Structure 1
Amino acid sequence: MSWAYWALLSALFAGITAVLAKAGTNDIAPNLATAIRTAVVLVLAWVIVVVGDKPEWKTLSGRAVVFLTLSGLATGASWLCYFRALHLGEASSVAPVDKLSVVFAIAFAALFLDERLVWQHWVGGSLIVAGAVVIATK
């Protein structure tokens, strides 16, 4: 299966996540909600690795550990902010604004990974920004 299939499934589950997370943050603090979700993700990820992937620990480089650690810190910060936003706002407004992450990812990929941006990146990114602005200012 191609990357597009997995990316579409990721988007589907992210949409489901927004609605479930909003429902889950109604009666508890957003940081507690984030901690519970993170614990579930942690257990699920390790079960998948241990049962399915059979990792070769020898291939794990220090560079990979550093970047994955930084990625984990960024994910944690993102989730804390996301759950706070969901606690305070509507999922139908918070989730689209959160998807501005796509525009940031495009820009960061060009800046730090030397990925070449083509016109489709510019047009698509602009449409994402426009859509987020329209929804956020409703």
Structure 2
Amino acid sequence: MSCSECGSPTIDFSLPERYRASLSTDAAVANCCTRCLTVEPVTDADTDASTPEFGRISDAVPTDQEQAIPLLLALELADSLATNRDAIESLLRDVERAGADPLLAIDRLARDPDLEPRVDLERRSHQIEQLLYYSNN
């Protein structure tokens, strides 16, 4: 499949039920663009999402699904931190609980010359750090 935003290739992955609300969908599969990092639900029943190759996106994306999926979903929501604050914080906490450092991954994604993220990751990384570690929650 191709990304609806930039036309680049995408990778499909199974979307656990607990994360479907992040994309406002009931779809069991989503895809992520290998260039702009846009994540979208997939409704094509013939999609094979059994073994997603997150490394096709970037070396900065964890290969473990428990780490990669919430990270990619958080980045999808990062264009509106104010609106999506709770969801982003929850998703990135899941990344941490799964054993990855979400801020390091975001920093590495921001510096990857092969990516052109839809969201300005350099600008958002500082705001996300504040959200995770300096919020009043």
TM-score (norm 1): 0.31
Higher relative contact order (CA 8 A, sep 6+): 1
Structure (1 or 2) with the larger CA radius of gyration:
1
Higher helix share: 1
Q: Between Structure 1 and Structure 2, which shows a larger proportion of strand residues?
A: 2
